[in-house]
Amino acid sequence: MDVTVLSENTKLKNSNLHTEHGLSLLVEKDDNIVLFDTGGPEGSAIQNAESLNLDLCDVDAVVISHGHDDHTGGLLDFFKLNDDAPVYLKKEALNPHYTCSSNNKEFIGMDERIIEEYSNRIKFISETTEILEDFFVMPNIYQKYPTPTTNNILFSKEDNKILIDKFQHELFMAVKSIGEIDIFSGCGHKGIMNIVCSAEEAFPHMKIKTIIGGFHFQAGKISTFTAKSEEIENTSRMIKSDGIEKVYTGHCTGKYGYQIMKTILEDRIDQLYTGKKIVI
Ligand SMILES: [Fe+2]
Ligand SMILES: [Fe+2]
């Protein structure tokens, strides 16, 4: 399986690719190509795909991890390039989402035109579904471990009430190979260990080999609001004791979170950056 980071918050110094706060990964396995999240609203994922000579026309399916604009921002541009790939997401992803700090309320939900103009492309997922051979979309996430504390500035609007976001709109993707599962997570708002144990429950005889995605130890773009070191250390220790071979993370994990994780996971962890290619 090949994974290309189409967009992430960072890039290598000499890279001409575009970056923005967000995440988009192109996942290729056998004959299937899946776009996991579409990056932020500046359209960096779509622009970078062109620079990297990756034709998004060939994408077979899109998976949207949750209804935040830093993961769904490239969808409108994607629809202009690709006429048929279905887009899998949870129905709740369409609810309005906000970040609220001090007296500021900022809309961070999906662009309404996605559902108004392209509803025929949208497929709602409410149960574990194999969307293509070995690609599973997993909408049910356990609540065994605590969720990231940095979620507490995130809200969603349901039944006309703005409430703290419980992330019913989040899903993850599991990709199966012989005896092993690789997990793709957007922001890990429901807690990365909850995602891991949901995958273990769904695939009881398989080893969880890799986790790729953000872990939300940083509150979105606010680099000064991070999870406490104990929270990051506990999660890192759990990942280690669970026997997960490799973690590729970035985006909302933040620099502070990554540095702490690195001290515990050492060579089991690598940084995501725009343009990175991973062979699993
Ligand atoms: Fe995010
Ligand atoms: Fe998010």
In the structure, ligand 2 is a single-atom ion and the residues with CB under 5 Å from it are 68, 187
The two structure tokens encoding residue 185: 């997570």
Count of the separate structural domains present in the chain: 1
pTM of the model: 0.97
Given a contact cutoff of 8 angstroms between Cβ atoms, the answer to whether 46 and 78 are in contact is yes
The helix/strand/coil state of 230 is: helix
Q: How many C-beta atoms surround the C-beta of residue 149 within 10 A?
A: 15
Q: Sheet of 180-185: strands edge to edge?
A: 129-132, 135-138, 172-177, 180-185, 207-213, 246-249, 269-271
* pLDDT tens, per residue, the chain with 280 residues: 999 999 999 999 999 999 999 999 999 999 999 999 999 999 999 999 999 999 999 999 999 999 999 999 999 999 999 999 999 999 999 999 999 877 788 999 999 999 999 999 999 999 999 999 999 999 999 999 999 999 999 999 998 999 999 999 999 999 999 999 999 999 999 999 999 999 999 999 999 999 999 999 998 887 778 999 999 999 999 999 999 999 999 999 999 999 999 999 999 999 999 999 999 9
CATH number of the domain within which 192 lies: 3.60.15.10
Q: Are strands 154-158 and 161-164 parallel, antiparallel or unpaired?
A: antiparallel
In the structure, ligand 1 is a single-atom ion and the residues with CB under 5 Å from it are 70, 187, 252
> Among all chains, which residue has been given the structure tokens 């969808």?
75
User: Measured between alpha carbons, how far is residue 242 from residues 5, 7, 196 in Å?
Assistant: 26, 29, 9
Residue closest to 239 by CA, chosen among 174, 272, 194, 186: 194
Report how far ligand 1's centroid is from the alpha carbon of 205 (Å).
31
Report how far ligand 2's centroid is from the alpha carbon of 139 (Å).
15
For residue 75, the surrounding DSSP H or E stretch is: helix 75-81
Report how far ligand 2's centroid is from the alpha carbon of 32 (Å).
26
User: Range of 161's domain?
Assistant: 2-279
